[in-house]
Amino acid sequence: MGEIVLAAKVTHVPSMFISEMPGEHAGCRQPAIDGLAEIGRRVKAAGASSVVVFDTHWLVNSGYHINCNSPHQGLYTSSEFPHFIRNLEYDYAGNTALGQTIAEIATANGVLTRAHSDIPSLGLEYGTLVPLHYMGVSRDLKVVVVAGWCYDASYDESKIVGQAVRQAIERSDEKVAVLASGSLSHRIWENHLVEQGLFKISRPFNEAVDRMVLEMWQQARIREFLEILPDYAKHCSGEGWMHDTAMLFAMLGWDQYQGSAEILTDYFPSSGTGQCNVVFPI
């Protein structure tokens, strides 16, 4: 019987790459990089054989989709931030069986989900590539990616998909880490302000709600958080409408989950958005 060995909400801000470059921003994202490195260390120490990523940079418009190609190989440049992420080579193993089982269970439970294992040109997005890069993931860990930006989908649907992830893991013989890759609030600065806003939140209201949410997670007030999730995502422009977060909590047990979150990277603003690295105990 398989098991979940780690669950986390992680940042994927591309400014981690400029943090490693010489110049005025050198070291600016070191706490975020260190948080992802610690998650990678814990994943390895737990003996994980696979990782499932809910990626808010993979937008889908019809049904839910899973990339379980094996291998995942490519050369990635971000169309959004080509000056931050360019020519990033990646080569990861995949887990076709796990991805297909997730899709089968979710579909059987009423949410059409397609698993793709035969499309080599279906590459990975930077919501997956950035965390895996800084976690130090190698081919020892098999990667499955679930689209986390689901156009016009309901949270009830994402709940079913998240529950399917847990059921599929339990049916397998895998030890699996699960990552929700996305920001908290996600209102990027207006274009004429974005260059000056690299280290500032775009709306003080968003930061206040972000910090309240982190406190709720630390205090294990998960039921309360789930009640406000739709409004939070709407009014604070949650990345991908925070479907990644809905899937993560569904995988953990939804409103029955009682774990107290551990913040590995303190809250920080990035180009107007709210970011963190948070681990949820299993």
Residue 211 has pLDDT above 90, yes or no: yes
Residues 138-160 have a mean pLDDT of 95
Q: Is the pLDDT of residue 224 over 90?
A: yes
Question: How high is the pLDDT of residue 278?
Answer: 98
Is 114:103 a contact under the CB 8 Å cutoff? yes
pLDDT band at 241 (very low <50, low <70, confident <90, very high): very high
* In the predicted structure, residue 83 carries a pLDDT above the cut 90: no
Task: Using the predicted structure, report yes or no on whether residue 84 has a pLDDT greater than 90.
Answer: no
Tell the residue number behind the tokens 């998240």, with chain if given. 162
Mean per-residue pLDDT, 240-255: 98
pLDDT mean over 263-272: 98
- The superfamily CATH assigns to domain 3-280 is LigB-like (3.40.830.10)
**Mean pLDDT for all residues in the chain:** 97
CB 157 within 8 A of CB 109: no
- Cα–Cα distance between 193 and 133 in angstroms, integer? 29
What residues contact residue 247 under an 8 Å CB cut-off, 6+ apart? 54, 146, 148, 158, 159, 161, 162, 165, 180
- Mean per-residue pLDDT for 155-179? 98
CA separation (Å) from 191 to 39, 91, 187, 195, 272? 33, 34, 12, 8, 11
> In this structure, which amino acid lies at residue 45?
A
pLDDT, position 151: 86
Instruction: For residue range 34-60, list pLDDT tens digits in order.
Output: 999 999 999 999 999 999 999 999 999
Mean pLDDT along residues 135-160: 96
**216 pLDDT more than 90:** yes
Over residues 238-246, mean pLDDT:
97
Q: Mean per-residue pLDDT for 211-217? A: 98
Which pLDDT does position 218 carry in this prediction?
Answer: 98
